[in-house]
Structure 1
Amino acid sequence: MKAPTLHTERLTLRGPEASDFEKVATFFTDEERAHGFGGTLPRDQAWRWFASTIGHWHLRGYGFWTVMAKDTSEQLGFVGLWNPEGWPEPELGWVMFAQAEGYGYATEAALAVRNYAYTNMGFTTLTSNIVPGNTRSIALAERLGAVLEKTYENIEMGTEHLYRHPSPQELGL
């Protein structure tokens, strides 16, 4: 399945393309930022992660969108829906690149993806799985109205906090 293109006031969210990989590879060399995704990865393993995000669209019918600035076409990060084998349920996740932090892009993109998942894809609930200590992601989840539901052992990531997002009904959708 090809990812639909979503638009917000400042952003375009499109399906991942081969040209997106360089920023992904750079992201996975940054210990602080990659920590929330299991840690740094060598280039070949970053490629496998990136390829799996593309395959996720074909296997599940949803996945990560590439977040682009409308005014400059700069690649800002990835936001999307993730549910690989072993995950407890579908997750709303995000990766923002260093130059894109602090501008509200992650919030804007995550709201667009969540609303699309609820109104166009039939999702009735979403979570965000966040490793303990990832204060930026916790703050974003809370800005989105998600609440800590439990701590659990993620098959891939180890101990994680599961934040539950408001349902479509709670959001008035």
Structure 2
Amino acid sequence: MHQRPRKGPLSFLPPAGRCTLHQCAAGRRKANHRRRTLSALDSSSSIITERLVLARHQPEDLDDCVAMWRDPAVVRLIRSTPFDASETWSRILRCVGHWEFTGFGYWTIRTRAEHRFCGEIGFAYTHRDMPPEYAGLPEFGCTLARSAWGRNIAQEATHAALDWMDQREGLQRTIAITDERNRAAMALGYSVGYVRREAIPFEGHAFALMERDGRTLSRPLEGHVAELATR
């Protein structure tokens, strides 16, 4: 990866939405049991790199995800107001459901050594309004917590996620959208094979629509992946 680490928000646009959040003590007490149950189902989609673990969302990820999405510095190039806990819980539920419906989706990013939360990364069918030639393609997204900025975590996680996606027949062609002002995200996209196709309006700003086709790249990504489980 030729680019220098950048300190600043790095966000390709994630799926968004709202729901009503009702937290209860019983649900918290069951978290460990639920994680043990889900881990048996999720092991085939986990990715381990030199420094990171990419894993499907679990109930106990909620607090870390809420903290990230309510940080104004993280969301400033996504929308004008932070996400509340209800919206973040809705996002997690959508991530879980997307895996069940499609066989791919979003992962949390954590460090291998300390299990420290770094952010979220993945792909989703978002069903946004897109130009016809890009409609229906999986959309890439990556958002980091502020504590993970400037440490090349986005690069390492992105290489691993794209390596995983490139091995799925019919899913190698993906798109991403990001604010034109987000130079860190644009640089990351270019470095892994995304090409800017056109500008599209979003939330009153010009967003870059980028496309990548893993089938046509001249060489595979320079992998950071230590272990790559497959379905």
Normalised by the size of structure 2, how large is the TM-score?
Answer: 0.66
Identity of aligned residues (%): 20
Deviation digits for residues 28-64 of structure 1, max 9, x if unmatched? 2112312344441222122112221221112222111
Give the aligned CA root-mean-square deviation in angstroms.
2.3
Distance 1:132 1:169, change over 3 A: closer
Distance 1:167 1:65 in 2: 20
Counterpart residue number, 2:107:
65
Distance 2:159 2:147 in 1: 20
Q: CA deviation at 1:7?
A: 1.3
Distance 1:12 1:172, change over 3 A: same
Counterpart residue number, 1:137:
185
Contact persistence 1:125–1:167 (CA under 8 A)? yes
Contact persistence 1:92–1:110 (CA under 8 A)? no
Matched, 1:147 2:195: yes
Contact persistence 1:66–1:79 (CA under 8 A)? yes
Matched, 1:116 2:164: yes
Count of residues in Structure 1 that have an aligned counterpart in Structure 2 = 172
Distance 1:141 1:28, change over 3 A: same
Distance 1:124 1:134, change over 3 A: same
Amino acid at match of 2:114: T
Counterpart residue number, 2:46:
5
Structure with bigger gyration radius: 2
Q: CA deviation at 1:73?
A: 1.2
Quick check: 86-95 or 100-109, which moved more? Answer: 86-95
Which ranges of structure 1 fall in alignment gaps of 5 or more residues? none
* Higher RCO (C-alpha 8 Å, min separation 6): 2
Distance 1:171 1:99 in 2: 34
